[in-house]
Amino acid sequence: MSDEQLWRSRIVDVLDFPSEGVVFKDISPLLAHHDAFSAAVDAVVAHHLEAAVDKVVGIEARGFIVAAPAAYRLGAGFVPVRKPGKLPGPTHEEAYSLEYGANVLQVHRDAFSPGERVLIVDDVLATGGTAAAAARLVFTAGAEVVGFSVLLELGFLAGRAALAAQHPGVPVHALLEY
């Protein structure tokens, strides 16, 4: 079985989660399988092994599960981007739109130094709203986003185009597309 077949066999559709009418792609079985998890982390960073990545950003909470081992694999530092009120120090924040209303993401003001090279890693690329907001937080600090890397991309939500519009020239890699 190829890595892609293994990953696809361990992503489960859950109907009506988190709300009615939504089909949630549950990656828990993939994470729980040692070979699938290990290969997924390796693949997430595969395009960035030769480029010096200083820090990997993970987005609360499931994003941490992929981004933190990606940072470890790259020998990079890890920076959490979190929902309001979770980070103890002074923060920058960015809002992003949802279907109804908006959410806010925060990062510590001292999380990056100017010129640092930052990879943004998440579990899923949907509309691209959270990833784009995370990138704005990196740019606010004067650091550089060298790429977006995700386990799976929900192609019908056009997140890749949204990222390209806001952050042109930053490569987007996804292990799987649905």
Q: Which amino acids are annotated catalytic?
A: 62, 99
Q: Does the footprint of its own copies cover residue 109 (CB under 8 A)?
A: no
Query: Per the structure block, which two tokens stand in for 65?
Result: 């599960």
CA distance 134 to 8: 27
Using CB under 8 A as the binding rule, the residues of this chain from 131 to 160 that contact its own copies are none
Q: Does the footprint of its own copies cover residue 79 (CB under 8 A)?
A: yes
Sole residue written with tokens 């892609």: 4
Quote the strand ranges of the chain, DSSP E: 12-15, 23-26, 55-59, 77-81, 91-97, 102-108, 117-125, 144-153, 172-177
Sole residue written with tokens 């990545």: 53
Site string for its own copies, 89-108 (x = CB under 8 A): x------------------x
Tell me which of 43, 66, 134, 145 binds its own copies, using CB under 8 A.
66
Interacting residues with its own copies (CB under 8 A): 12, 14, 17-18, 24, 26, 28-29, 31-34, 36-38, 41, 54-55, 58, 60-62, 64-66, 68-69, 71-73, 75-80, 82, 85-89, 108, 110-111
